[in-house]
Structure 1
Amino acid sequence: MRKMKLLKTLFAGITLFALNCYCNEEKNPGLAEFSKPAQIDESKYGAGTLKETGKTFYVSLNGDDKNDGLSENTSWRTVRYACPLLKAGDTLIISEGEYNENEMDINVKEGSTDFMGNSGLPGKPIRIMAAPNARVIIRGAKKFVLNKKSEAAQFTYEISCKEKTIPCIWEAGTQIKLQNSGSIEKTEELPGTYYYDTEKHKLYVHFTDSNFFPGRSIYIEKSRVGLRIHGSYVEVKGIWFMNYGSAILMRPNYVNEPKTKEERDIGNNKAEHITIEDCGFFANSTVGIEAYQVQWCLFKNNIGEKNGDRGTIITHTDKFQDNLIKGNIFGSSDETMRLIGSNNVNYAISHYGGGMGERNHIIENIIDDKLSFRWKPICKESIMEDNVLTGILYIEGITHDRITVPKERIIIRNNVILGKIHWPGNEFEKNNPFANRLDTDKIFINNFMPFSNEKTINEALFADTAYYDYRLQEDSPLKGKSMGGGDVGRHRYPQGKVLFVGANGNDTASGLSIKGAWKSLKKAAESLCPGDTLYIMPGKYDETLSISANGTKDAPVFIRAHSKGKVLLKGVKINVPAIVEGITVSGGTNAFDIKAPGVTLKRCTACNAPENGISAQNAKDLSISNCTITGNKTGITLKNSKEASIRDSIIAFNKNELEISEDSKQGYHAGHNIYYGDNIDKNKFAGEFGSIVADPLFVNAKNSDYRIAWNSPAASVDAFNSPAGAATVSGKPLQISDISANFINADSAVIKWKTPVDDTTAYVEYWKKGKTKKQRSNDPEQGTKHIAGLSELEKDSVYEFRIHAAGRRGGHAVSEVKEFRTKKEIRLPATYYLSPDGNDNADGKSLKTAWKTISNACEAANPGDTILINPGKYTNAIIPLKTGLPGKPITFKKNGKGQAILDGNGVLSPIVYLEKKNHIVIDGLTFDNLEAKNRNGVIKLSHCKDIKILNCRAGNQKAVSWLSGPFFRANGSRDLTVERNVCWGSDYPIAIGESENVLIKNNTIVDGTMWACSIWGGNNISIINNLWYRPCIPIKSNQAISFTGISKTKIICDYNLFYSPCPNHKVGWIRNTLGETLITGDSLKQWQEQTEYDKHSIQADPLFVDYEKGDFRLKENSPAIGKGKDGETIGASCK
């Protein structure tokens, strides 16, 4: 310990430049032999090359499934019709356009053995691919156009809908998932929500921006799986998949037709040698690619983002072996719905469940997601090399227990891992971003891992992370420091030079870093060699960039605006293959003058040219994407430029938009563009895929501000529903209104306000008038109606306050300053009543004048108040705005006979939320119908004190879903009582971390999913007289009680009853903070023998009155009766 403290002291303040010593062999004997790059033969993976040609079939939007499909003129219409007809060696070519398809099947035949009738063979793969240069989107959702506003609504639109269920709804354009609100009223209140009235067959929608225009639409998921592959030697190339559950699902056929997961059996069936290449995966509700038990597959050069619950690639089982994931670029799969869950696992790439895979290699990928990569569990003998992870690397479990043979070690080499590393049993020194390791389970070498430290990242001097270019500038401290030679990080031996030019440069410098940048574009252009990249620093240059030599088809030169800043040039002339990104040209005869094949323009702006924004001659394979072409005589002119494409661009306010010569129309493609101007012929662009004619709404074109307004039709028009054109979208201004101070007391007040058209989080900043000390109170809920409680105020004093709001979809706002005066005397504690038939405008002080809503009671409640809740149904969460005081708790209690049900309406959880609140009692309430996706929990506590949860029930007519989270979750709290409650279902019914003085007594916990009771850390925990019935789902073998990191925790655990009808379920488990098992009790006897716990507990069927119907009262002959401490009955002893 003393040595570790000394090391931390020595490391403190050391810069990146001083840490190179940690990359040497002397500190890590034996590592050097593992420093060599991996030699992976890519030809062994995937479907392989086509050597024996079968038939070639075609699908197009103009086709007909009654045709023979053997030519473009006799093409089929649907991909789902074509797929089952393909044989080994066949090729299916799909023409440009968007296809709306239900599940497409390859070799799907459950209950079969060795079926290969719709599968490829070695040298004869089945190939499914987009036509050359074509954009093919296959969508798994049905489009609905909304034109009618709902009666008496300001923001809600409705449409008739006959769908039986709605798995997922996306807003067209943005592809944001809409969230079920549970009612028409909540839909009107909350942007980004919907409600489906299944009786009236009406769907109600409130769009995320609270804006509407005729023809606005949504997509409803109709197919859980897009392309299902149960065969081998199949290649899928160049296709984009959207709005499915799982876009591509691959696995072998089952030899049986299982009804449950436990019955699934693939026998000797295989699914192997599958290639997924150059495909796109976007806005799929579950995952992009889902792979079970497949081998020798290749996932290469794909893109993906916004892919739901499980990211873009998820793999499963120990039979996922010998696969290669290479060269992919995956963006964020953050949840797009308005509310984000507390237990997201949507890693961009992950292996999850079913055992350790083997030899699955992760090579040369860009994973730009805060949840970048997860192995749960590890895949042994696997190599992770030359990747960039901008977020966390998460490896589950103690790998040195699982990998004990040297040949099975995993190799993590030459990666850039910008986020944190979670790897139990492996402590990485956060001040040492170069640490190398040679262990029994791993080789960790030549990686750069700054643990999200921006200073360390900046000191690394990468070329330009805005373009995912993690090559190094010449003065980088990572340069040449890899053990065994080369650079640390992704590009050990970089291809092509990285060059820089800037207005403050010097033409006598090296040009190999920002510090050593050249000054003139001429010097820079003349110095380029094939494959080089030139970064132009932001600024205005009075030069024309002329690229006249040194680019080739296979090694073009790259010209980029550094950091995607604004680079304004006099002109650009391109006479060699080149890729130009982010450059703006204003004026010049032709802004961009292109006279070479193989040129690409991305994110460029061509404006105010007296002739052409872009002039292209002899420019075969020209690609123009995400460009803004405006204010020119002619936007784009193409001459003798075959196979050109113009996509995702804004071509507006030119005197003439396009001039395309006859010899340039061969192979020409255009789509997802915005056209606008006085001389626009709408019919000219009517056939373009995804293009529209509309004003792009530039922020200020006169001042050359070509950003587009938040409500521009160009804001989400491109194929991945991001902005068209070169510039960004300006933020939407937020509105704050209806600010008021309410329930003002001598020491407290409640502040209310609205953000009427924006879904926001917000807080109140307040201070005593004339004082400088400012305090803050958060609104506990996101939405449009807001409220926050102010406590510990001084009596008879004036307070000033203002609102700070942050939009879920971006934007910030601060209100004007308001004020109020506190009362002179504190109000005495009172009793208030709630009734489903009440009125929030009444005084709440009697049954006749009862309030109606839980939320009104939470606003009003002061220390010492009691809220008596009459039987019936309530649809708000208990989130008190103020805290109780010692001897003056705030109590929410059922009043009278019958159930007082807090109904989550399928959208609400947690249903009791206490953060930094003390002295609260919740007594006798029933929690039902919770939101079942985000695992936020039923009752959630954070840093609370003296909280009592008594006589409550979770799960009324059916069990609580595991996706609703724990019944009771507490972190960092103390003095907690959880007594005589019933929980039916949930994931970890009782989950308590780092809490003290906790009593868990006489509860009945039935049908958990993971563990019935999970305790980690904390102190003085008593678990007495509880009934634990079936602690986890049948296919798992978990324990009823799990203790983690309790070496310093005092625990009393006794007089409990354990039972499960599943013999594989266990009693208890103790592990350390690293997750290593210390003690396990498979049976109560074993648990008692190995621990001090449960000496008086029993293991027997408790004999419920009716387990199936959820009646957990005990029969008269139950073994639980009288067997608790002091002769009490075990469990809650109630229904």
Structure 2
Amino acid sequence: MGKHGLDTNAGTSRAAAFRTIQKGVDALQPGDTLTIGRGEYAETVVRKGLGSAEQQTVIRAEMRGTVLLRGDVDAPGFKPVPGTRRTFAADFKGEVQAVYEVDTLERLDGQATRAEVEFQPGSFYYDVAAAKLYLSSSDLRPVEQHRYSIPVAGAHGMMLEQPKRVLLDGIAVRGFEKSVMQTWHTESGTWGIVLKEAKDCVIRHCTAFLNGGGILTRSGLEGGNLIENCVAYGNISPHGFECGGVVAVSVRNDTLRNCVAYKCGVGVRLYGGEGYGLIEKSMGWGNVVDLGIKGGKMGEISDVRDCVALSYLPTRGRLKHSIIGFKNTYVENQPAGTDTSIRLNFERVIRDQEFADPLNFDFRLQSTSTLRGSAPDGSDRGPFPYQADVFYVKPDGDDVADGLSVKAAWKTLARAAKELRPGDTVYFEQGIYEGDVTVKGGKAGAEPISLRARGTARVLIPGSIKVEGSHGVQFERLNFARTVTATASGKVRFNNCRFFAQDSALHASRCTELTITHSEFTRFAQAGVVLDGCSGVELSSNVYDNQHGPAVACRTDGEATSAIRYSDYNSYADPGKAWRAGGKAMSLAEVRQASQDIYARELQPVYTMRDGIPEVTDRIALVIGGALGRSLGLHQDLMSNTLRMTAPTLHSVTATTANIEWQMSRGSMSGIAWGETPACEIKAAYKVTNHADTFRSFSLTGLKPGTTYYFKLTSAQLIYPLDDQGPGEVVDPKYEAITFTTEAADPAPRTLYVAAGGSDAASGLTRGNAWRSIGQAAAQARPGDTIMVAGGTYIEKVRVRGTGVEGRPIKFMSIPGEKVILDGSGRRIETAFVINGKSHIEVDGFYFDGFRMGGQGRTSMRVITVNQSSHVTLRRLFWDGRGAGYSGGLLMGADSTDLLVSNCVIIRGSDGMEVTNCPGFRVEHCVFLSHMIEAVKLGTPAALTSNIICDSSAFKAKSNIHFMSFGNQEAIIDRNNCYFLRTPEAERTLYWIINFKEDGKILGHTRMTLPDYKKRVAPTDSVVLDPQFAIFKRLDPAKVPAFPIDKFVSTEVPLDFPDLFATNPAVVRRSIGLQPEAFADMIKK
């Protein structure tokens, strides 16, 4: 089938091809092959029961990488929104399932209000009624410096249910996402390719990018599926944590091999199942979790081998000959050299000295690597045992040296080109390499010979390069000043190269399968690429500055069609003379009539010379347009620690406080300073770890009335930089001081009102003039103010932008007797209240529902997020995390003091609360129900008193996962708590102590039961009892499960505070759990 076909055709020949992939897939019978012609197909494909166990059924691209199944459309142009700094808008009609920033591979975060787009870089809001799309860029740059796409299909790209022995080969998918969660069968996400209940299927040489999830297989009862040689990038979704690059779930004898995933949620992953699984020769970088195995029996018996994961690689199975950037979170602190793998961070590996080209993900060992022979058995550690086939050249090298390390590099291009063998790689360090060179080498069927610039080196070759009688020679990231010629050679490839000879840039004669990709041609007067007697030529994603001559010239008329197998996604400065065939010019329109360059662009880049190399002055127009969502011309996938910022501004000021705001592009530490002179004598550090929320609000307190002050940012540093990319470059820092004057005196405290039927244009001073949003009140509140919120549902993220002071807190309260619900809009919003850099804040009497889990660890956000604040009280809050999708806990607290959580209910969620470095943290009279992982995760001194903590969900409890974790056993007070367990207390693990000490020895990670804790840590008076919640008095006992809390797993049983009052006399007598008297004004009689 192909773009030229019709669905009314028979589909049995090229001339009778189908038009759509769906029609072709529908027509398949076991043993058939569907061949798809190149092009972009805007459709979704679904088939159930395809194939059979007896014969292989094939769906393949006629030419790998040239068939793209699309579920998105290019976004229209955006214009600045008046009155905003960073919000842009465009008219758009249709369903907006998501928005992707294509050039950065970022999925913009969907917001529930337009106002939030201004606060949160990298977000969007779609006004359905006005058919207008609002967004802000991910990195604080103007939107016009990026390119965007909008998923509109709202379904999986290719969904095959119950396939048997089906092979997918060479297909690419992009832009498949849905604004709401899918079913658990697809991990709640929308994928580019899904094989559900698959048996003995193969996915090979496929590419998935900018989808909710990339490639997914879910095995049936037998499994046996294989995903190999696939690439996934930019696939991530808020709807499911397992959404990512290349994933197999419900594993039964499934294999992921030779796959690469980057900038996704999870990278390459096996999850759950009862059978064996294998990940081998795969790589992940820039993902939340790069690579790993989790869950079920499969997680214990499976293997990871010969892999590279530059961040996390969690697995309980066998890990062999791999590279881990950070750590295997399931096996902590593995000593170096005790197995066959390399742990880059723990071992402080200097990558540039050990590996071939780590910046471009080549982790083969240099001859001088200390990792050689370092495994217990004397073998080389890591996935690539040393071989003497990688050589190095640098301007101050020595041609007498062996060339097998950067330290012993050669000096000249001539030495590098001498005696090249199949499989050899030559890396050039930055410099100019003089001389004319003829390259001869290679062998059909053997590994190619590669000549490349190392890292980001600018390598200039001013002499002539000739390739003669060779096979499989590749050039990458090189700059050629004179004509490059290739004669009587096969499979010569140029990628990411610049050609700027003044006559013809590249001349190929009698060559087969010549490939030129992501290269740039300029300054030529005759032709960019000259083809003479060639065949099988592929030209893709190149930039032709063909203002003075044709981009491609063929010797005869027929050679334009016979020589060039494929040409597309290129750009032409002059479409009128795109090609020349037999002396006759061909316009781009005529080239398209020959079925080439269908998706080419017309661009006129401007070049400037730098160090003898012409460079495109403004690359914005080139950031997309290449094949598979990549840039036109030079394209290099690199990790970046670039950090951008805005200048601080004054939000509001009182007699003794000032509220300063700015934005950072990522989670960072800001140096701040203020004082009564421009020198800003008082200095501090302000840290917000979360990468997703980059709005900064910091409040100064203790100021003098009627006094002029200065404030400035003094530094910026990434909290969690991408590994091995340096501390982070701050682009255009904003370190100039701003000035303000405090008020002479504070006005009297106010009572402000919010109601679902109010208006943010009102005064907010009475209920009849109430504001519509809690966020509006949070922006206006001053010390001592109380915000009274009327009953109703509020879909918003509330940012507390002002601070309270001692004796005059800012209070957010529900009006007595009225139920106030903050709704996360079906897991679209991750946080209800953001309290950063504030003090004396109280949040009291709210219900929360439908919020999603926003990340993991200290970079995460929860229903309430508190950073670097003090004296924050959370009281009478009800978080119901039940329902589809991943929900987080009630609280993420970091670097704060005197944080109190009292009389709150936390249901479901991954972790009930996660708190780090918060001295004075207290949890009192709370109820925890059915947590997924931990009820309480602590990296701080804390006191837990009079709480009821019920066992986790049955699925997790069977793994005996602990209730709470903490680092320092001496800093935790466990007092008068009630634990409700599924299993006997002598068996059920309650505590995980990270740095456990006993008898003067550091024993490290130690899990223990309550009896163990009482014996080995502290004589706590906490007990194991059934609290006998009040709700069970009104439920039919026959319908209450053996472990009563399981009745609440689903949302079919609504819950409220009184339902969870304890009635067990032994619990009531000790005043454990919710205090009924605390709710007298909150609950209707």
TM-score of Structure 1 vs Structure 2, range by shorter chain: 0.7 to 0.9
Contact 1:282 1:307 in 2 (8 A): yes
- Map of 1:70 onto structure 2: 12
Contact 1:642 1:665 in 2 (8 A): no
Contact 2:926 2:1073 in 1 (8 A): no
The verdict on how the C-alpha distance between 1:458 and 1:60 changes in structure 2, with shifts beyond 3 A counting, is: same
The verdict on how the C-alpha distance between 1:580 and 1:1041 changes in structure 2, with shifts beyond 3 A counting, is: closer
- Map of 1:951 onto structure 2: 876
Contact 1:594 1:614 in 2 (8 A): no
- Map of 2:935 onto structure 1: 1013
**3-state SS, counterpart of residue 313 of structure 2:** strand
Task: Find the partner of 1:301 among 223, 226, 229.
Answer: 229
Contact 2:698 2:836 in 1 (8 A): no
- Map of 2:1002 onto structure 1: none
Alignment of 1:94 with 2:12, yes or no, is no
Superposition TM-score, scaled by structure 1 size: 0.75
- Map of 1:264 onto structure 2: none
* Structure-to-structure mapping, 1:1043-1082, within 5 angstroms: 1043-1044=964-965, 1048=970, 1049-1054=972-977, 1069-1073=989-993, 1078-1079=1008-1009
Between the aligned partners of 1:556 and 1:591, the Cα distance in structure 2 is 19
Task: Find the partner of 1:582 among 470, 476, 494.
Answer: 476
* Structure-to-structure mapping, 1:178-257, within 5 angstroms: 178-184=108-114, 186=116, 192-197=122-127, 200=129, 202=131, 204-206=133-135, 208=137, 211=143, 218-224=150-156, 226-228=158-160, 230-244=162-176
- Map of 1:412 onto structure 2: 319
- Map of 1:748 onto structure 2: 657
The verdict on how the C-alpha distance between 1:792 and 1:628 changes in structure 2, with shifts beyond 3 A counting, is: farther
Between the aligned partners of 1:1113 and 1:980, the Cα distance in structure 2 is 9
Contact 1:569 1:583 in 2 (8 A): no
The verdict on how the C-alpha distance between 1:790 and 1:281 changes in structure 2, with shifts beyond 3 A counting, is: same
- Map of 1:47 onto structure 2: none
Residue 563 of structure 1 deviates from its aligned partner by 1.8
Residue 982 of structure 1 deviates from its aligned partner by 4.6
Task: Find the partner of 1:789 among 680, 699, 706.
Answer: 699
Residue 650 of structure 1 deviates from its aligned partner by 0.7
Count of aligned pairs between the two proteins: 982
**3-state SS, counterpart of residue 314 of structure 2:** strand
* Structure-to-structure mapping, 1:462-861, within 5 angstroms: 462-482=355-375, 484=377, 486-494=379-387, 497-550=389-442, 552-570=444-462, 571-575=464-468, 576-588=470-482, 590-607=483-500, 609-633=501-525, 634-654=527-547, 655-661=549-555, 662-663=558-559, 665-666=561-562, 668-677=565-574, 679-680=576-577, 681-686=587-592, 687-688=595-596, 691-698=599-606, 700=608, 706-708=614-616, 712-726=620-634, 740-741=649-650, 743-745=652-654, 747-752=656-661, 765-768=672-675, 769=677, 771=679, 773=681, 774-777=683-686, 787-793=697-703, 796=707, 798-801=709-712, 812-815=731-734, 817-820=736-739, 822-823=741-742, 827=746, 830-836=749-755, 854-855=774-775, 858=778
Between the aligned partners of 2:822 and 2:375, the Cα distance in structure 1 is 60
The verdict on how the C-alpha distance between 1:1042 and 1:998 changes in structure 2, with shifts beyond 3 A counting, is: same
- Map of 1:979 onto structure 2: 902
- Map of 1:48 onto structure 2: none
Alignment of 1:1125 with 2:1073, yes or no, is no
The verdict on how the C-alpha distance between 1:1111 and 1:997 changes in structure 2, with shifts beyond 3 A counting, is: same
**3-state SS, counterpart of residue 1050 of structure 1:** strand
The verdict on how the C-alpha distance between 1:520 and 1:214 changes in structure 2, with shifts beyond 3 A counting, is: closer
Task: Find the partner of 1:1102 among 1025, 1031, 1035.
Answer: 1031
Alignment of 1:363 with 2:280, yes or no, is yes
Residue 421 of structure 1 deviates from its aligned partner by 2.8
Contact 1:650 1:696 in 2 (8 A): no
**3-state SS, counterpart of residue 382 of structure 2:** coil
Between the aligned partners of 1:135 and 1:651, the Cα distance in structure 2 is 20
- Map of 1:28 onto structure 2: none
- Map of 1:273 onto structure 2: 200
Contact 1:976 1:997 in 2 (8 A): yes
Structure 2, unmatched stretches of 5+, are: 189-195, 238-242, 578-586, 722-727, 995-1004, 1012-1018, 1036-1050
**3-state SS, counterpart of residue 324 of structure 1:** strand
Superposition TM-score, scaled by structure 2 size: 0.78
The letter of the residue matching 1:82 is G
- Map of 1:286 onto structure 2: 213
Identity value in percent: 18
Between the aligned partners of 1:1116 and 1:983, the Cα distance in structure 2 is 11
Between the aligned partners of 1:858 and 1:799, the Cα distance in structure 2 is 25
Between the aligned partners of 1:632 and 1:120, the Cα distance in structure 2 is 57
Contact 1:94 1:130 in 2 (8 A): yes
The verdict on how the C-alpha distance between 1:517 and 1:527 changes in structure 2, with shifts beyond 3 A counting, is: farther
The verdict on how the C-alpha distance between 1:962 and 1:1010 changes in structure 2, with shifts beyond 3 A counting, is: farther
The letter of the residue matching 1:1098 is P
Between the aligned partners of 1:791 and 1:1122, the Cα distance in structure 2 is 46
Contact 1:160 1:203 in 2 (8 A): yes
Between the aligned partners of 1:513 and 1:1012, the Cα distance in structure 2 is 48
Residue 1123 of structure 1 deviates from its aligned partner by 6.2
Structure 1, unmatched stretches of 5+, are: 1-58, 109-117, 262-268, 334-345, 400-409, 437-443, 1082-1089
The letter of the residue matching 2:902 is E
- Map of 1:386 onto structure 2: 306
- Map of 2:890 onto structure 1: 967
Between the aligned partners of 1:468 and 1:82, the Cα distance in structure 2 is 38
- Map of 1:456 onto structure 2: 350
Between the aligned partners of 2:455 and 2:789, the Cα distance in structure 1 is 58
Q: Map Cα deviations across residues 795-824 of structure 1 (whole Å, 9 max, x no partner).
A: 745424258799999973333724425549
- Map of 1:372 onto structure 2: 290
- Map of 2:1041 onto structure 1: none
Contact 1:169 1:220 in 2 (8 A): no
Between the aligned partners of 1:259 and 1:665, the Cα distance in structure 2 is 44
- Map of 2:1047 onto structure 1: none
Contact 1:196 1:204 in 2 (8 A): yes
- Map of 2:90 onto structure 1: 157
Contact 1:530 1:552 in 2 (8 A): no
Q: Map Cα deviations across residues 659-694 of structure 1 (whole Å, 9 max, x no partner).
A: 134246336101111111385433134444563332
The verdict on how the C-alpha distance between 1:69 and 1:1096 changes in structure 2, with shifts beyond 3 A counting, is: closer
The verdict on how the C-alpha distance between 1:790 and 1:598 changes in structure 2, with shifts beyond 3 A counting, is: same
Between the aligned partners of 2:949 and 2:310, the Cα distance in structure 1 is 45
The letter of the residue matching 1:230 is Q
Alignment of 1:922 with 2:807, yes or no, is no
